């Protein structure tokens, strides 16, 4: 359950064509340190470009545990997709909510995120394809640093 089905250095390194061929129609992205650094809500031109392309092939939802809903809304609005803050990952209800919004099934969905104990564990529990990416910025908070250490130990 803690095993990502796929891993990539960043979202820009994911083979989305391959996902499409494998029958994935719905993408659920984590936001912080997956799409953008934790402390900003700015969308890079690179991210904007990727999402414009992805929207042609997939239905997308943003699922974040961020405690700042206004910031998450800014990001979602800038990308032109729906999102949810305070989602409650890795609990199954978080993923059920996203699937309901997307109108998809777990089998046709992929969860993409940087945290093993949130994004990947929850995505696997929900029966989705899971892709773990490297966090954009190194962690500064001790609890998250410890979690990264644990993640790396487990992944090895
Ligand atoms: Mg994250």
> What is the pTM (predicted TM-score) of this model?
0.94
CA 30 – ligand 1 centroid, Å: 6
- Whether the ω angle into residue 16 lies within 30 degrees of 0, i.e. cis, is no
In a domain, 47, yes or no: yes
CA 21 – ligand 1 centroid, Å: 26
**Domain assignment of residue 29, given as a range:** 6-155
**Coil, strand, or helix at residue 113?**
strand
Which residues contact residue 39 at a Cβ distance below 8 angstroms, ignoring those fewer than 6 apart? none
CA distance 83 to 87: 9
Answer whether residue 138 shows pLDDT above 90.
no
Ligand 1 ion: Cβ-proximal residues, 5 Å cutoff: 30, 32-34, 114-115
Answer whether residue 137 shows pLDDT above 90.
no
Q: What's the number of domains the chain is made of?
A: 1
Mean pLDDT of 39-53: 94
Higher pLDDT, residue 14 or 139: 14
CA 22 – ligand 1 centroid, Å: 25
Answer whether residue 25 shows pLDDT above 90.
yes
Any idea what the CATH number is for the domain that residue 56 is in?
3.40.50.1000
């Amino acid at each position: 359950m803690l095993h990502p089905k796929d891993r990539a250095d960043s979202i820009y390194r994911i083979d989305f064509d391959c996902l499409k061929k494998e029958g994935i129609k719905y993408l659920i992205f984590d936001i912080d340190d997956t799409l953008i650094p934790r402390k900003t809500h700015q969308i890079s031109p690179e991210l904007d470009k990727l999402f414009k392309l992805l929207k042609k092939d997939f239905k997308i939802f943003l699922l974040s545990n961020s405690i700042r809903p206004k910031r998450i809304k800014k990001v979602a609005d800038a990308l032109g997709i729906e999102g949810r803050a305070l989602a409650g990952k890795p609990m199954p209800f978080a993923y059920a909510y996203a699937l309901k919004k997307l109108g998809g099934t777990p089998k046709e969905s992929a969860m993409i995120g940087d945290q093993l104990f949130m994004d990947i564990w929850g995505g696997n529990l929900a029966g989705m394809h899971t892709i773990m990416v490297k966090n954009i910025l190194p962690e500064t908070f001790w609890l998250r640093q410890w979690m990264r250490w644990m993640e790396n130990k487990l992944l090895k």
